[in-house]
Structure formats: C-alpha cells, structure tokens
C-alpha cells in the first residue's frame, strides 16, 4: 500500500477541489482537499468560497480542506473559517512564500 496518492483534478468542473490527496499510515488515513485560487492582492477571497469549500468538504467527507491563494482572505472569510478551524486551513500569499522558502 502506498503512503499517499495525489490527484490533480481537471481545470474546470473540478467539484471545488484542485488537488485530492489520500495520506495513509499504519494507524489511519486522511483525505485532504486543496482548492487553489490565483487572486490579485487587492481582490480578496470572501466568505462565499469558504462556504463553498466547506460544502464540498462535507459532501465528500474529507478529513481536512485547505484553500491556498496567491492573494489574501477578507476579514469576514478568516472569521468564517475560524468556526471550522479543525476542518479547514487558509494559506494566503505570505503562507505560500513561507512554504516555498522551505524547499
């Protein structure tokens, strides 16, 4: 059995998931959905996308969902995501830079 499987979805009609990752270890397995948004810094991601991703998260029974953006999240989006912080992580431009600097 592989420790992980990663699938990139097609560019359109991806069902709210750009990357689907199945991560397995000897104790359990995790299904992670990653939604990627290419946004300009002044065009912030709002609560609508948070709700959309969480809807897909529950329908597809993911363990964790992550929204990654080249921009930033609105204050309302961050507040909305905080209510489901165990199920959803937000990664903005600054988080993305930190990730890339590690590699």
Domains of the chain: 32-101 (3.40.1350.10)
- More confidently predicted of 47 and 103: 47
pLDDT, position 25: 85
SS3 57: helix
User: What pTM, to 2 d.p., does this model score?
Assistant: 0.86
How many other CB atoms are found less than 10 A from the CB of residue 58?
Answer: 12
Phi, psi for 65 (deg, rounded to 5): -120, 150
Q: Give the relative orientation of helices 75-82 and 47-59 as an angle to the nearest 10 degrees.
A: 30
Dihedral, 84, 35, 101, 103 alpha carbons, nearest 10: 110
Do residues 24 and 41 lie in contact, with contact meaning Cβ atoms separated by under 8 Å? no
pLDDT digits over 13-64, tens only? Answer: 656 678 999 988 888 899 999 999 999 989 999 999 999 999 999 999 999 9
């Amino acid at each position: 059995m592989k420790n992980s499987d990663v699938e990139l979805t097609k560019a359109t009609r991806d069902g709210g998931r750009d990357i689907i990752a199945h991560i397995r270890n000897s104790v359990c397995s995790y299904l992670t959905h990653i939604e990627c948004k290419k946004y300009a810094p002044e065009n912030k991601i709002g609560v609508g996308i948070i709700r959309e991703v969480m809807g897909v998260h529950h329908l597809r029974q993911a363990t964790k969902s992550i929204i990654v953006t080249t921009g930033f999240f609105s204050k309302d989006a961050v507040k909305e995501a905080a209510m489901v912080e165990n199920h959803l992580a937000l990664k903005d431009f600054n988080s993305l830079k930190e990730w890339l600097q590690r590699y």
